[in-house]
A and B are shown apart, each in its own frame.
Chain A
Amino acid sequence: MRATMWGAAALIVAAGAASAQTLNDVRSRGVLNCGVNTGLTGFAEPDAQGVWQGFDVDICRAVAAAVLNDPMAVNFVPTTGQTRFTALSSGEIDLLARNSTWTFSRDTELRLDFVAVNYYDGQGFLVPRALGVASAQELDGATICIQTGTTTELNLADFFRVNNISYEPVPIANDDEGQQQYLAGACDVYTTDASGLASVRATFENPDDHVILPEIISKEPLGPVVRHGDNEWADLVRWVFYAMVAAEELGITQDNVAEMASAPGDNPEINRLLGTEDEYGTMIGLDAQWAVRVIEAVGNYGESFERHIGEGSPIGLARGLNAQWTDGGLIYAPPFR
């Protein structure tokens, strides 16, 4: 018992000691240790050559491009749902970009800092069209495949309690098992994050036989996470991400960024972002060209989205909540001023 307490004390001390060191650590190491999913379609996946691709992976590459001037200088550490936060707080990784939901307890009790939201997700339902269900309200008595130990499991219980209807859970361990169980008819309904449902449905032999119900029953803001206590590093990661967002809003793309950065233009905000005016890079410990490198490496937010999970990709997610605020979405970068 006492040993456990000492262990916990050591843990807290270790987490506290993780002060403004990360940027220097990364620089002297010459490589960014970035925690990613072991494999999630569109978000993080190693290709046949072992090169990591994906929407979350782009965050790692962007930070590496800004700090180390090389988007490939990333050591990807595959993490599972159980190991991800410990890997971060123990210092094994500098940054976690692994579709992790920003919640109260993770932000406070686990001593993590969610620096931004790069994907607004929400829990949805996938049902066979033959079931003839048009709304989640009609799912009374349904058997539902649900991943145990996740926020989705708790959301589901909340939703059915609020609507005063019953369901029968079929516990599963991971997405793969869920797809198989659902296709084998072990459950009427499969529920997980809507982005996951869309990519799962896209792999079915007859996607049109299945529908995603219109209700989204939870808020799942997914974003990059850093350790609590190193504010400089948190600022850096946050503004690298916002540079991608602002670039989309300001019409800066992978193709035109070099040209726009070659000389100061008419728009002072673009000039400040691309380092042709003022010295914004030095405020986060970088040089003036940092944002140019980010956009050259991974493109702006919209380009990264489109490449990996957008309507042009096999997953085919609509922008929805993840559109720019000017298009009615929630993606909104604070001003570069």
Chain B
Amino acid sequence: MSDTHARTVAFSRDTMLPPVPPPVRETGAVRWLRENLLGGPLNVALTVLSLVAIWWALSGFLPWAWRGIWDASSLTECRARRDELYGPGVPAACWAIIAERWPQLVFGFYPQSGYWRPPVALAVFLVAVMPVLFPSLPRRMLWLLPPAPFVIYWLLWGGSLWGPATVAAGFALGWGVWLLARRGGAGAGLALAAGVAAAALWWWWIAGPLAGTLARGVPLALQPVLSKDMGGFTLSFVIGLSAIVLSLPLGVLLALARRSEMPIISTVAVVYIEIIRGVPLIVWLFTAQLLLNYFLPRGTNFDLMLRVIIMVTLFAAAYLAEVIRGGLAALPKGQFEAADALGLGYWQSMRLVVLPQALKISIPGIVNTFIGLFKDTTLVAFIGMFDPIGLTGSIRATTAWNGIYWEPYVFIAIVFFVVCYAMSRYSIWLERRLEREHRPAT
């Protein structure tokens, strides 16, 4: 068989040809360019158009930004320095306003000796939520979470540490009583009532005098800061992050309520969501600022920032509820039934089977809502609060800086972009991490 075959072929090569490098147009940058930018006349045209557009945008912006003047104390001085350096009329940014006023854009009217406090509070917040955001961290770090809000409150608003500490102790006491009652065999309702009663009694009778006594003994106090003195990005972050943290649980509850089979609960949720969602945020902010005052007793001073945080939270919760409801609806009915078949109760099945999957599906929508919420904090400028946008107006009102526009806006835009981009990157990372469907079984 092999003999016949051998005779039919005249020549058979028994050595390999040395490999030849691939053609230039099929490798590296050239191939990438050809395939991605120059593949066909339409793509060539689009590439040229895009390049022209990018050039047009950057050729104006970059020289302007690069030539920027950093040391001047007023716009007039900026213009004089520019004339001296580049000649009159040459576009040049006046970054001196950022150099002079950045503390105000970041901290508002926060006392200067306390500028370290908001960043430390932010760091405490980030460390505390770290174990929630990154499941690979040790679970023990979750213990940092409960005390964090009290520490952050103390850092931002100052005053005696013992105030927030005794309030926190009330929560701990209530939780402890609840735990003891459960261990002792009390029913869920009774244990809850006992816990709440213990905490209420503590706050009502003991917390105030105890905080006072402790403060006299060991005065651990920071200089108190009023909400109205917080401005700039401190204000944006306080409002944005509080609303983000508070609106997520509220949104989950609302989403579950809306899908509930109990008619009163689902009706209340539907009415709430539709009313909140049907009215623009700015109207709710005006309501918080103006209308509430008429209905509160005269002389009560219900902190404006607190009112705004509550309103923004309620607003975001309605949107989140719908996003999460989308996640719940996308879940196959079999999952609910499987949870029931395992004998899990409603809350158990939600916590262990349904919500983990529904929330995973909803991640892009949730983060989308959070990013929108964070940017919406700039709307408080319209009710006279000094968020970064509001501050640009009052900085411009000083004669030194009247007439300057782009520089503060560019600065604010960069900070917002960094924060929102970080959130977006995190959400993509989380989605990848939680990807289950197409991963090979291990």
Question: In whole angstroms, what is the CA distance A199 to B403 when docked?
Answer: 10
Question: In whole angstroms, what is the CA distance A217 to B233 when docked?
Answer: 42
Q: Which residue in chain A gives the minimum CB-CB distance to B397?
A: A39
Name the interface residues of B70-125: CB closer than 8 Å to any CB of A: 75, 79, 100-101, 104, 108-109, 112
Question: In whole angstroms, what is the CA distance A25 to B299 when docked?
Answer: 8
Q: A75-B228, A77-B384, A179-B403 are in contact. Are A44 and B104 (CB under 8 A)?
A: no
Is B346 engaged at the interface, CB distance under 8 Å to the other chain? no
Is A328 engaged at the interface, CB distance under 8 Å to the other chain? no
Is A188 engaged at the interface, CB distance under 8 Å to the other chain? no
Q: Which residue in chain A gives the minimum CB-CB distance to B295?
A: A10
Q: Which residue in chain B gives the minimum CB-CB distance to A87?
A: B290
A122: min CB distance to chain B, Å: 21
Task: Report whether B399 and A313 are in contact in the complex, using a CB–CB cutoff of 8 Å.
Answer: yes
Is B365 engaged at the interface, CB distance under 8 Å to the other chain? no
Is A83 engaged at the interface, CB distance under 8 Å to the other chain? yes
Question: In whole angstroms, what is the CA distance A299 to B188 when docked?
Answer: 69
Q: Interface segment, A46-54, A63-71, A240-248, A258-266?
A: A46-54
Which residues on B sit within 8 Å (CB–CB) of A83? Answer: 286, 289-290, 383-384
Q: A48-B100, A50-B104, A50-B108 are in contact. Are A86 and B290 (CB under 8 A)?
A: yes
The interface centre, meaning the residue of B79, B228, B289 with most chain A CB atoms within 10 A of its CB, is B289
Q: A90-B294, A92-B293, A203-B75 are in contact. Are A176 and B405 (CB under 8 A)?
A: yes
Q: Which residue in chain B gives the minimum CB-CB distance to A44?
A: B397
Q: A176-B405, A313-B399 are in contact. Are A80 and B383 (CB under 8 A)?
A: yes
Task: Report whether A91 and B393 are in contact in the complex, using a CB–CB cutoff of 8 Å.
Answer: no
Q: Which residue in chain A gives the minimum CB-CB distance to B385?
A: A78
Which residues on A sit within 8 Å (CB–CB) of B213? Answer: none
A3: min CB distance to chain B, Å: 12
Name the interface residues of A98-153: CB closer than 8 Å to any CB of B: none
B interface: dominant SS:
helix
Question: In whole angstroms, what is the CA distance A37 to B390 when docked?
Answer: 11
Question: In whole angstroms, what is the CA distance A11 to B290 when docked?
Answer: 11
Is A40 engaged at the interface, CB distance under 8 Å to the other chain? yes
Is A167 engaged at the interface, CB distance under 8 Å to the other chain? no
Is B229 engaged at the interface, CB distance under 8 Å to the other chain? yes
Task: Report whether A11 and B294 are in contact in the complex, using a CB–CB cutoff of 8 Å.
Answer: yes
Task: Report whether A48 and B290 are in contact in the complex, using a CB–CB cutoff of 8 Å.
Answer: no
Q: A176-B396, A203-B402 are in contact. Are A82 and B108 (CB under 8 A)?
A: no
Question: In whole angstroms, what is the CA distance A48 to B394 when docked?
Answer: 10
Task: Report whether B286 and A82 are in contact in the complex, using a CB–CB cutoff of 8 Å.
Answer: yes
Question: In whole angstroms, what is the CA distance A176 to B299 when docked?
Answer: 36
Question: In whole angstroms, what is the CA distance A78 to B229 when docked?
Answer: 11
Which residues on B sit within 8 Å (CB–CB) of A176? Answer: 393, 396, 405
Is B370 engaged at the interface, CB distance under 8 Å to the other chain? no
User: What is the number of residues of chain A that contact chain B, defined by CB distance less than 8 Å?
Assistant: 45
Question: In whole angstroms, what is the CA distance A6 to B229 when docked?
Answer: 35
Q: Which residue in chain A gives the minimum CB-CB distance to B386?
A: A78
Name the interface residues of B355-412: CB closer than 8 Å to any CB of A: 382-386, 390, 393-399, 402-403, 405
Task: Report whether A78 and B384 are in contact in the complex, using a CB–CB cutoff of 8 Å.
Answer: yes
Name the interface residues of B110-163: CB closer than 8 Å to any CB of A: 112
The interface centre, meaning the residue of A11, A174, A205, A315 with most chain B CB atoms within 10 A of its CB, is A205
Is B438 engaged at the interface, CB distance under 8 Å to the other chain? no
A121: min CB distance to chain B, Å: 17
Question: In whole angstroms, what is the CA distance A44 to B104 when docked?
Answer: 17
Q: Which residue in chain A gives the minimum CB-CB distance to B109?
A: A50
Is A191 engaged at the interface, CB distance under 8 Å to the other chain? no
The interface centre, meaning the residue of A75, A176, A315 with most chain B CB atoms within 10 A of its CB, is A176
Name the interface residues of B31-81: CB closer than 8 Å to any CB of A: 75, 79
Interface string of B259-300 (1 = CB under 8 A from A): 000000000000000000000000000100111011100110
Is A155 engaged at the interface, CB distance under 8 Å to the other chain? no
Which residues on B sit within 8 Å (CB–CB) of A41? Answer: 396-399, 402
Q: Which residue in chain B gives the minimum CB-CB distance to A308?
A: B399
Show 25 residue pairs from A and B whose CB-CB distance is below 8 angstroms, ordered by the A residue. A7-B294, A11-B294, A37-B397, A38-B393, A38-B394, A38-B397, A39-B394, A39-B395, A39-B396, A41-B399, A47-B398, A48-B104, A50-B108, A50-B229, A77-B228, A77-B384, A78-B384, A80-B383, A91-B293, A176-B396, A176-B405, A199-B399, A200-B402, A203-B75, A315-B399
Known: A14-B294, A38-B386, A176-B396. 15 other contacts (CB 8 A): A7-B291, A18-B298, A39-B397, A40-B397, A41-B396, A47-B398, A78-B390, A78-B394, A80-B383, A82-B286, A83-B290, A83-B383, A200-B403, A202-B399, A203-B403
**5 A-B pairs with least C-beta separation:** A39-B397, A203-B403, A50-B109, A39-B394, A90-B293
A interface with B by C-beta (< 8 Å): 7, 10-11, 14, 17-18, 25, 37-42, 44-50, 75, 77-80, 82-83, 86-87, 90-92, 174, 176, 179-180, 199-200, 202-205, 313-315
